[in-house]
Amino acid sequence: MFPFSFEWTWETTRMVFMGGLWYALGIIGAGMTYCILKAAIDASKGTQGRRHH
């Protein structure tokens, strides 16, 4: 649910719950976006990341 939904009310519980969800999804989304974009750029440049053990 977003603040522009008609059901939204500006109350603390709603802001904490939904804010927490967006915060977590934001970190996950930003992290994956960074990884995908960097991988595309590195692949286009022919760079090979080192292996992890």
Q: What is the dihedral of CA 40, 42, 48, 53, to 10 degrees?
A: -70
DSSP single-letter state for residue 4: T
Question: Which helix or strand (DSSP H or E) is residue 26 part of?
Answer: helix 12-45
Binding stretches for another protein (CB under 8 A): 1, 5, 7, 11, 13-14, 16-18, 20-21, 24-25, 27-28, 31-32, 34-36, 38-40, 42-43, 46-53
Output the smallest distance, CB 12 to another protein, in A: 9
Output the smallest distance, CB 51 to another protein, in A: 5
Output the smallest distance, CB 3 to another protein, in A: 13
SS3 label, residue 5 = coil
